[in-house]
A and B are shown apart, each in its own frame.
Chain A
Amino acid sequence: GNSVTQMEGPVTLSEEAFLTINCTYTATGYPSLFWYVQYPGEGLQLLLKATKADDKGSNKGFEATYRKETTSFHLEKGSVQVSDSAVYFCALHSGAGSYQLTFGKGTKLSVIP
């Protein structure tokens, strides 16, 4: 079946530090890959996506590249801000007749001034 594995958190960084959150996946076919962000007390928001191999998704300074050879979709940001403190979820949609998203467990990021 499909699965998503994210690096364990929590992650604590100082403001302006470089961020990497690792995500690897197992899926049938050619999935679409997503990063969602959940701010405290809010629902999940789509942060970025990639629908095919070598695609790079980007938004709000965050980037992730769909690496088929390593089945990975690592999230990166060059300089984090306090406002980036949230829980980040990697997810995949495999298609193949199913409409469900498969999520990782989430990585909590705290950015301190």
Chain B
Amino acid sequence: DTGVSQDPRHKITKRGQNVTFRCDPISEHNRLYWYRQTLGQGPEFLTYFQNEAQLEKSRLLSDRFSAERPKGSFSTLEIQRTEQGDSAMYLCASSSSGTENYGYTFGSGTRLTVV
């Protein structure tokens, strides 16, 4: 078990470009979450998958954001037409059904800088 892996660790992109991040959860975890963390703030929930189904989305997830988990394993988060306000750390977490009361396992995050 290598924990939750996120790739890339850092991404610098020009405003208006599209970016895609990948998350590989702990293999036996069927639930996967995306959060966004801006400087000086706590993580904010973006979306949640159970297996391949996206079951919950935050209002923060605008039309420019899309997330997938096609085979119920890894997930991708795509941001289209990036804006400077999208600059943040994007965190992925995973858990098993019924263990939410025991906390999630977070990855180290992808830091996005939009210039």
Contact = CB atoms under 8 A, between A and B. Distances in A.
A94 to B, nearest CB: 10
Interface in B41-68: 41-45, 48, 55-56, 58
B48 A99 contact: yes
**Tier of interface size on chain A:** 20 to 34
A44 B36 CA distance: 12
Contact of A105 (B4, B42, B55): B42
A43 B43 CA distance: 11
Chain A facing B: main interface SS? strand
B108 interface: yes
**Tier of interface size on chain B:** 20 to 34
Contacts of A93: 100-101
27 contacts: A34-B103, A36-B103, A41-B108, A43-B108, A44-B43, A44-B91, A44-B93, A46-B103, A89-B43, A91-B42, A93-B101, A95-B100, A95-B101, A98-B56, A99-B55, A99-B56, A99-B100, A100-B45, A100-B48, A100-B56, A101-B104, A103-B42, A104-B42, A105-B40, A105-B42, A106-B40, A106-B42
Nearest to B92: A43
B106 interface: yes
A27 to B, nearest CB: 14
A105 B39 CA distance: 10
B25 interface: no
B108 A32 contact: no
A100 B61 CA distance: 14
B74 interface: no
